[in-house]
Structure 1
Amino acid sequence: MADYQSLYRLSHKLDADELKWERERRLHSPGVVFLDFPVGENKLFYVITPELAAAAERVYALDREVRGIEADMPPIGATLCLRALSMGNAVSSNTIEGVHSSRREMEDGFIANSARAKKTVKYVGLAGFYERVFVKGQLPKMSLEGIRTIFDEAVAPNIAAEEQPDGRLFRAEPINVYGTGQRILYRGMHPEKKIVDGLETMLGEWERPSSTRLVAALLGHIMFELVHPFYDGNGRTGRLLMAVELSTILSRFSALAFAGRLEEKRRDYLREFRELERPFNLGEATGFLIFLLDELGNSMEDFLGEIREKAGDFKNLHAHLRDSGVGVIVRYDLGDNEKTILELLAWGNLAGLSQGVELRAVADIEGAPRNWRTIRGALDCLVEKGFAEITRQRPLFVRLSSQAENALMGSLE
């Protein structure tokens, strides 16, 4: 992480005169940007420093690499990876807030959403949001009403009735935000008029950035959490909004990979919020922005290592299945339709979908059969030969058997 220290931290290291000089230097820097957004008795501001600019440029450079690998992946492979990454993002975001959710529960939510199941299925609303926005790329238009709609769809179903918003759009009563040991991190804005004003400033920053759109996306996240418009679910909603905004700037893969990193850095993440509101800090967000940019870049580096391996495996798998001389193809006399379904199931396996993939996704593979009887007949053949297992009937979900996994995936090593 770039070595930029907050004024609050420096207040423990510098004497009074040195601290005063550093405050004045930052407040009157040519790169200072003030926003009409209150942080205690101060206004939110940040300084466009060399450290901040370098951290942002690193993110842009890494995203170009992510997009290059994504472009080489088959569409169905990219779709399945986005779905798996969405599940991981949702679980990590819950964990940051101390909300336990398993990968299996999240996968069940995605399956229930695919089946258009009742909203009583846990996480089906959240899964539907991820599927529409991050998998299919249908990004919502941001507005005050849009924020409430996202909360109602993706977060509210898993929040207690007494914690639901009771104002026109947001909460009507004051709230304190607690950290570990029940220490108050900061106090959310109040009354609702101030909540609305704060969120309008956030939306204005996203629409008309004070510097770059990338910095604005992260700055907006900081603003949202300081506003804290709901009684519960603010962290999850705020990270969803940040991921949506990042998806307008970066690859959806890059945007989704971030939550896992913030889960790992949860203590540092919460500490940055706590320090931002300290009176000695004067409302400066520079250090917090550099922290977020650095960790976003780190999450992308980690993801690049994983996606490079998956992209290579996808390419090798396709060649393997289309080679009629490969032992597994010859030994079991697999035809083109069986190979197409095997390819789909193997992609699901590589993406990390434990319950497999919906069979109708076969239609998304170039050259695949479109007739359902043909597809189902090929699946029945694979099940009979021990290469596929049906995990759900409605909708029909299928995964590789352990036999197929050993035969196909082992050949990629």
Structure 2
Amino acid sequence: MDMKYRSLARLFHADRSVDSFNNHAALARQRLEADSTFRTGVITPLGELFSATPRETTLLMENILLAERRISRLWNLIPGVMRWDYIRHSISEELFATNEMEGVRSTRKETQDAVDAADKARRDGDDSKARFSEFAKLYLNLTDKDSALPTGIADIRDIYDKVMLDEIDESNQPDGDLFRKGDVEIQGPHGLAIHNGVKGEGNIGALLTDMIHLATSDEIPRLQSAIMSHFLFEYVHPFYDGNGRTGRYLLALYLNHDLTMPTVLSLSRTIAENKNAYYKAFMEAEDKLNCGELTLFVNTILGFIQQA
């Protein structure tokens, strides 16, 4: 018997009755208010963002936890020197994958050089200017489990500046106090407009403040809150360019406090290998008929974490 969880939008399209609109509104309210639902309290034009907990979610969470225990055991058996080699190689691959997703031309040699330069800078305080080395340094900071999480929106801009250093056209520089002032339209893989970023720098700042609180909420399981905050960041789209790379780094940063290094350092690569499913998850979550429900989005990203 197929008990697959279906989105509100799909159930609406499948409803052939004359009451389809009322049925849809009632079901949306029922899902939002269910005991097993995690509400974020974050109100967007889509509705309040929330995630339900169907069976798939519970199974995915358990699979991830059990895999993490195995990885942790194996990881601790590897000699320190080999572990460090693995980390450097993984970061280089992460930078390469996350750049590639945004269509940024980088070679593996460039990303390896960036990691080496950033690693040297960490050890000797030597600041080299290899391309992407600031971005690499951010990923290297993940090796320090206490790496600070953003406490305010200025920290988000600070991370963005390191991710995008030297990579950003004059015309795409943020032109507000911290973020963009103008409006932005996001195009999908085939040049279709799939999303309009949030309008107005005040709204951007307010929703990013919500994102920071959501990502560290005590009321929501950590993986779900990190994933929902990732959705919110990309939905807000605070910059003209570089939102994808900045958002994936933030996701790694939040997951880093709970997951093993090898998993966190394989996530961008896993997403890049599944980028159509990743973009599709955003498009479906942004369907007005889903009323802010992020359950299937959460499950998609949990699936990537499990793969990673």
| Residue in structure 2 matching 1:31, options 11, 32, 36 | 36
Shift of 1:22: 4.1
Instruction: Identify the residue that residue 82 of structure 1 maps to in structure 2.
Output: 87
Query: Following superposition of structure 1 onto structure 2, how do residues 369-388 of structure 1 map, counting pairs within 5 Å?
Result: none
CA distance in 2, matches of 1:41, 1:34: 14
Shift of 1:26: 1.9
Query: Following superposition of structure 1 onto structure 2, how do residues 250-289 of structure 1 map, counting pairs within 5 Å?
Result: 250-289=259-298
Write the letter of the residue equivalent to 1:142.
P
Shift of 1:63: 0.9
Quick check: 2:91–2:115 contact (8 Å CA) kept in 1? no
Quick check: 2:135–2:162 contact (8 Å CA) kept in 1? yes
Shift of 1:54: 1.8
Instruction: Identify the residue that residue 257 of structure 2 maps to in structure 1.
Output: 248
Instruction: Identify the residue that residue 6 of structure 1 maps to in structure 2.
Output: 7
Write the letter of the residue equivalent to 1:267.
N
1:217 correspondence with 2:222: no
- Is the partner of 1:36 in helix, strand or coil? strand
CA distance in 1, matches of 2:192, 2:204: 23
Write the letter of the residue equivalent to 1:152.
D
1:50 correspondence with 2:55: yes
Is the deviation greater in 150-159 or in 265-274?
150-159
Quick check: 1:79–1:135 contact (8 Å CA) kept in 2? no
Instruction: Identify the residue that residue 140 of structure 1 maps to in structure 2.
Output: 148
1:70 correspondence with 2:71: no
- Is the partner of 1:158 in helix, strand or coil? coil
Regions of 4+ moved over 4 Å = 16-19
Quick check: 2:5–2:54 contact (8 Å CA) kept in 1? no
What percent identity do the matched residue pairs reach?
28
**CA 51–186 in structure 1, closer or farther in 2 if over 3 Å, else same:** same
Aligned residues: 296
Instruction: Identify the residue that residue 204 of structure 1 maps to in structure 2.
Output: 213
Q: Structure with the greater relative contact order (CA < 8 A, sep ≥ 6): 1 or 2?
A: 2
Q: CA RMSD in A?
A: 2.0
CA distance in 1, matches of 2:198, 2:43: 9
Quick check: 2:111–2:132 contact (8 Å CA) kept in 1? yes
How big is each residue's C-alpha offset from its partner over 1:248-277, in whole Å with a ceiling of 9 and x where there is no partner? 011121111111111111111111111112
Shift of 1:279: 1.4
CA distance in 1, matches of 2:46, 2:285: 12
TM-score w.r.t. length of structure 1: 0.68
Quick check: 2:216–2:226 contact (8 Å CA) kept in 1? no
**CA 10–100 in structure 1, closer or farther in 2 if over 3 Å, else same:** farther
1:102 correspondence with 2:107: yes
How big is each residue's C-alpha offset from its partner over 1:325-347, in whole Å with a ceiling of 9 and x where there is no partner? xxxxxxxxxxxxxxxxxxxxxxx
Instruction: Identify the residue that residue 162 of structure 1 maps to in structure 2.
Output: 171
Shift of 1:117: 5.0
TM-score w.r.t. length of structure 2: 0.89
Write the letter of the residue equivalent to 1:157.
D
Query: Following superposition of structure 1 onto structure 2, how do residues 283-322 of structure 1 map, counting pairs within 5 Å?
Result: 283-299=292-308
CA distance in 2, matches of 1:147, 1:41: 23
- Is the partner of 2:225 in helix, strand or coil? helix
Write the letter of the residue equivalent to 2:85.
L
Shift of 1:239: 0.4
- Is the partner of 1:157 in helix, strand or coil? coil
Shift of 1:157: 2.3
Computing the radius of gyration from Cα coordinates, the structure with the larger value is 1
CA distance in 2, matches of 1:14, 1:39: 26
Q: Structure 2, unaligned stretches of length 5 or more?
A: none
Write the letter of the residue equivalent to 1:291.
T
Instruction: Identify the residue that residue 232 of structure 1 maps to in structure 2.
Output: 241
Is the deviation greater in 133-142 or in 274-283?
133-142
CA distance in 1, matches of 2:55, 2:218: 19
Shift of 1:215: 1.1
CA distance in 2, matches of 1:213, 1:137: 16
Shift of 1:24: 4.6
Quick check: 1:125–1:157 contact (8 Å CA) kept in 2? no
Q: Structure 1, unaligned stretches of length 5 or more?
A: 300-413
Quick check: 1:45–1:283 contact (8 Å CA) kept in 2? yes
**CA 84–135 in structure 1, closer or farther in 2 if over 3 Å, else same:** farther
